Structure 1
């Protein structure tokens, strides 16, 4: 007697979880199925996918023949075997919509893994057309994944603008249906679409007009905060950008599968900290990230010492890296920070220094440029100094004790706000078994009913004398 292939057994178990999710209205079973998708995707083969189609759809169904043909396997299902194991039992009834979408999702993931982009695009169009005919909350998590693969296929084929109207229309539908998971997924996909096309204004308008669901999954929330941070950084709102990118790093899954996202978030965080005038800790560039963050480490060194020549050489050397990461325009803004750092170092080293020496040390074009830059640094609070334009020098003021200013209070306030936000997010992320309180409510209702019956019997005098024989007066 032969046994099923392990992958087919895993697929059958996933089908059982999806049926249980529909019966109990519990989305945790759907999440359990989706958590196994990354590992399962690597085990899929054309023969296995054909077997899955056979055991999901009955004979004569167009989806069955389409999936078997897409896998490139002989449609003669009686002869299809996998590694010597018996084929799956042939389906005789139509599957649940959840199972149908899950099988479609498996084919999407496999086509992307095999780099069959054209087939992925065609399949995604048919799957989305079927998906939009359903209105079931048990499909929310599956729908968000299906939309991701649709957008990924269009992105790899260069059709970013073509898919945008479909995403916007589906976002309106998801909002009206109160589908938070699909809504969150579509918002992040639209933001990515806009940023890849350099439509920052449209992305900012989208953020201002939509409300990202509070109960969305952490992975979607992390992506949304990452894109929002990039938008705010481009708009020069570095404080908000830093808060968003910090939240994205905190919410991102701490698993090997999320290493790429964490790496991209760390790169953006480093640039934003530099633009804010801070120098990232050296520990950021350790923990196995030395090679991937090497270009940013060189930029940090140039900004830290205020050397324009070193900064220009670093930009020229790693320009391709910054462009690939999408941070090139932000890194170019750091030139002013390099100049400010150099001026700050000179203000601390000299009580008085001529504008000509500043011009020579910073390699500026003229003394007028040096005077303008020093004046701007004073206005921005970078240095405490005055300019004597007649005699052409900068006079540094005495360095004040930082504890006599409002800076410690502001830092303490920021830390308190961060801790409160972390606590609120943790409370929102807590999950409880659905309908667990109904058992206690049922027991309480039964107790109250017994109490009412007892009171009624006492009032009507229906209790026998034998009921009181154990009580001595």
Structure 2
């Protein structure tokens, strides 16, 4: 039996220490839990005060980036604790803010007493002065979002919106502009939940004019989107188009505001039959939108309209769009419409439209989907023209489920005139003669080929122009070439003087080889 080597005790201790260090590193790698909402609000108020003191709006923007996640974690107790911690006892602002919150329940009082009795960390001393006015508006914004969570408080949120807007306009502080842009969104949400969105439109128009005169880009971008949403909510597409033509969206606005603006613009252009412009705007909205998991509702709404616009343009959307985990369930009805349009079956399209009519009306895409009927008919006629050299109008009427032969004749004639198919209608015999199949050659094919070559050449030229070279790189090459020439001169000189043997020259072999 072979002997087993026993490790010395020092090596065992060293290995145990290494294992302990690995375990410590694993524990350190775990992310720290997020702070309580009240503590996060307090740190945000400190950042707002720093932004006002140092004239650095980036701290305010940092606070506003956490608003979406924070408003899901707040409740009445959290807001009361945050107000108590940041305002002195005798503050009038504190009393005003607490008046918008429901009174503390007995359970909350008992929890506070239990926390104090457990001997936890000592409470911080109450502040002696009020925070900056921007902190008050920030707390009002959080209270507004809290009031949006219950139907019983919708009317209260509208009153708080009025008071907050009047206070912001009375203060007229430029350091408050980023927070004011978020407040206007909450104001619109209050009116929308209360069913009084049309009543808020004059307030938004007056505020938008004031923001334009003050060059307040954040508020101006937010208010333009609020007005567009209000117009589209009531299907006032002409007013929305006039607003877009009379205003200029600020170029310095953030990506979320730009994404909303392009989405609203895409809806207006789609209703006005300008599908190319609508497709461009919706593409920009998708590119500028937040991640799908961050804003799934907006991501789904944009893609619903984007799919319909692509179908109206005569294109078939990519299948991978409907496999996206965020879009798969939301776009299931639109995927059925795409399949009906792709096959050119008018009966399947009509049955799918009737099946999902409630969802399409809720998404406000029903009128656009109804327009796809002509695209389905064109697709069916194109398939028939490829399958038959001659077909009667009665058979076309039966295959496409049209109402009469006159409708079939009109639709076929329009398809021939639009260049969808090649053929002619023989009225005397009541049929359609389809044109011969296009071969792979001809003027049209050569034009397409020329356009592709031109595109490739332009892409090559742009790539060459965009290339960047390191500075003074040619000087290194010149120096290397100069050294090589000097070396060649020395070698030539040594050969002439007889100091260099034949076997010792470059590439020469030794005697013993």
1:388–1:395 contact (8 Å) kept in structure 2: yes
Task: Decide whether aligned partners of structure 1 residues 251 and 408 sit closer, same or farther in structure 2, where only a CA change above 3 A counts.
Answer: farther
User: Which of residues 197, 204, 215 in structure 2 aligns to 1:178?
Assistant: 215
Contact 1:124 1:150 in 2 (8 A): yes
Residue matched to 1:448: none
Change (3 A) 1:63 1:389: farther
Q: SS where residue 256 of structure 1 aligns?
A: coil
> Structure 1 residues 406 and 82 mapped into 2: Cα distance closer, same or farther (>3 Å)?
farther
Cα distance in structure 2, aligned partners of 1:62 and 1:100? 12
Mapped to 2, the partners of 1:97 and 1:84 lie a distance apart of 31
- Paired residue for 2:95? 65
Structure-to-structure mapping, 1:15-164, within 5 angstroms: 15-74=45-104, 81=112, 84=115, 89-115=125-151, 116-164=153-201
Relative to structure 1, the CA distance from residue 150 to residue 87 in structure 2 (aligned partners, 3 Å threshold; closer, same or farther) is farther
Distance 1:88 1:370, change over 3 A: farther
Q: How far 1:66 sits from its partner (Å)?
A: 2.7
Say whether residues 1:284 and 2:315 are aligned partners. no
Q: Report the TM-score, using the length of structure 1 for normalisation.
A: 0.81
> Secondary structure of 1:257's match?
coil
Q: Summarize the alignment of residues 196-215 of structure 1 with structure 2, pairs less than 5 Å apart.
A: 196-215=233-252
Q: Is the 8 A contact 1:160 1:193 kept in 2?
A: yes
Change beyond 3 A, Cα 1:333–1:41: same
- In structure 2, the residue matched to 1:358 is 396
Question: Which digits, 9 at most, give the CA deviation of each residue in 1:305-346, with x for residues without a partner?
Answer: 111111111111111110111111111111111111111111
Q: Greater relative contact order (Cα 8 A, min sep 6): structure 1 or 2?
A: 1
Return the TM-score normalized by structure 2.
Answer: 0.75
CA distance in 2, matches of 1:407, 1:165: 55
Distance 2:280 2:291 in 1: 19
**Counterpart among 168, 174, 198 of residue 205 in structure 2:** 168
User: Hey, what's the Cα distance between the residues in 1 that align with 2:112 and 2:178?
Assistant: 32
Superposition deviation, residue 294 in structure 1: 0.9
Larger Rg: 2
Where structure 1 has 5 or more consecutive residues not aligned to the other structure, the ranges are 421-473
**Conserved in 2, the CA contact under 8 Å of 1:274 and 1:334?**
yes
Matched-pair contact (CA < 8 Å) for 1:69–1:75: no
Report the more deviating stretch, 20-29 or 101-110: 20-29
**Structure 2: unaligned runs, 5 residues or longer:** 1-34, 117-121, 463-513
Match of residue 268, structure 2, among 219, 224, 231? 231
Q: Secondary structure of 1:353's match? A: strand
RMSD between superposed Cα atoms in Å: 2.8
What is the CA distance between 1:39 and its match in structure 2? 2.1
Which residue number in structure 1 is paired with residue 478 of structure 2? none
| CA distance 1:378–1:121, shift in 2 (3 Å) | same
Distance change >3 Å, CA 110–CA 165, structure 1 → 2: same
Q: Aligned partners of 2:263, 2:454: CA distance in 1, in Å?
A: 25
Provide the C-alpha distance between the structure 2 equivalents of 1:226 and 1:51, rounded to a whole number of angstroms: 39
Secondary structure in 2 matching 1:132: helix
Match of 1:8 in 2: 38
Q: Is the 8 A contact 2:42 2:82 kept in 1?
A: no
| Distance in structure 1 (CA, Å) of the matches to 2:450 and 2:174 | 49
Matched residue count: 413
